[in-house]
Structure 1
Amino acid sequence: MMEIIQASFPAKSVGGDVDYRVLLPPDWKQGEQLPLVVHLHGAMSSSASLEAAKPLYEEVFEQGGFPRAVIACPSTPTAEGFYIDWPDGAAWETLVSDEFPEHLAATRGPFTATALIGASMGGYGVLKTAFCDPDRFTAVAAVSPAVFPGETPESVPEANIPSVLGDLHRAMAHGSNDPDTYVGNSVHGRARRNADRIRSRALPILVDCGAADEFLLHEGAEYLHQVLEELDIIHEFRLVEGAGHVGPAADARTRDAIRFLGAALIAR
């Protein structure tokens, strides 16, 4: 059985302590050199999401589809969070992309590779992180990522930005509606800006979304798929018929995303 540990650390990037959970392989020993998987949770959630995912990681690991690895999830806020660096506030993207992995390397490393996985808001977070600096990562898997069918504040239909998605939509421009800031925080914008690096890295990318997503995230996922195809960026796109944002298919899809990361980590 894998062991899960809850801890916290003082994070300069956000000006306070950050709670997190770490999932360790059986009989883990300090100094064992393993890959790191950063697992980002969705909106209105916390590092407790790793507790729910633990049986899925264990199942794929026991089947031989996932290597010995350190898996870690930090608790991040939704409002004034969203895995975004705020100009006059906390830098949540810097936390998950830099400071958190550095803390883990010092306490649980050194690591041989780093992969990213996230769902919903976490899917947005892992894609924007991977596309910002693709050379650092071995693979990225996004399940029902919070991405939109448009690349500017004005081009996203109102139907696609209800409730918390509208908050994310505004947060991407730091509440200013500035198109340059929006594009800078956009998964599509980062894919376009760093397309050459993503292609040369041959970064394994999974985008998975239910075709019946209640928040219409399948429309954003399909738009991203089209952008990646336009940019000739190799990726795996799964549109799961009948599946919603949550529901009976959610565990199976998360399990498949874990297996996708596992294959990339085993093959590296």
Structure 2
Amino acid sequence: MIAEMGRAAVHEVAARLGMDPREAAARLITLSGSGLPLLVGVECDPNGIRKALANSMAWGNYNGPPPAAQRQYPPYQAPPSVPFPAQPAAQQPQQTWGPPQTAGWARGDQQPMFGGSKGASGQRTGKIGTSLETEGLEGATFSIQLIEVVDPADFLFTAAGYKLADGERAVVVHTELTNTGAIPFNSLPDMYLVLMARTGEPVAKAPVSLSSRPPHKIGVQPGETAGGHTVYVLPEDTSITAVRWSARPEIDLNTLVWTIDD
């Protein structure tokens, strides 16, 4: 599976295997140490790490992590997956959608699930090309723009060296996050970016990245804009009605939704 993925975050590997991320990390490090051509890395906000350590040491509370024997981890639950159909469905044609001057490609065999509205802190729903405002769990304020939905994106998926099973298709979503406040955004922008099926089921992102469509990176500093692409693999006959962003697995008042019209 690692050879097929090529490049992925540890939590994505763990989710694919249904393991605790910490156990997955330990096994990957063991494999790397055994001589396999496998690199296990870390990506972080350097300034945020230094600041957190400095604050902890200033109060005299930082003594390093506890020994492994003393650590207690909560049980890990793998996220639910969308069941795939037993038989492949007929190929649906690709159609081009979105506001003028945008490259919003999306299949048009679905109905919108949400209407346009505004929340207390700005617009929360829109269409492809719309920039929506929200805030994160740590108080960061930002806007996210849905730039493009490429559906199907099988040609991009296979060009990157991946293979789709019979009855599957790939979708690629391009989004940009602009930090409009004074607090850094310290998460992965597309951590809980999902596709919404006509049945109401969310389709989580696949643990893959495409070299031709770079993925998101963790963290966006105040005043900065960062973009990235998110890849999905789903049953070929699943109709997508919207793209949904949330700061946590469940929806809340800060959740953003972009509808995909006929």
| Range class of TM-score, shorter chain | under 0.3
Normalization by structure 2: what TM-score? 0.24
Q: Between Structure 1 and Structure 2, which shows a larger proportion of helix residues?
A: 1
Normalization by structure 1: what TM-score? 0.24
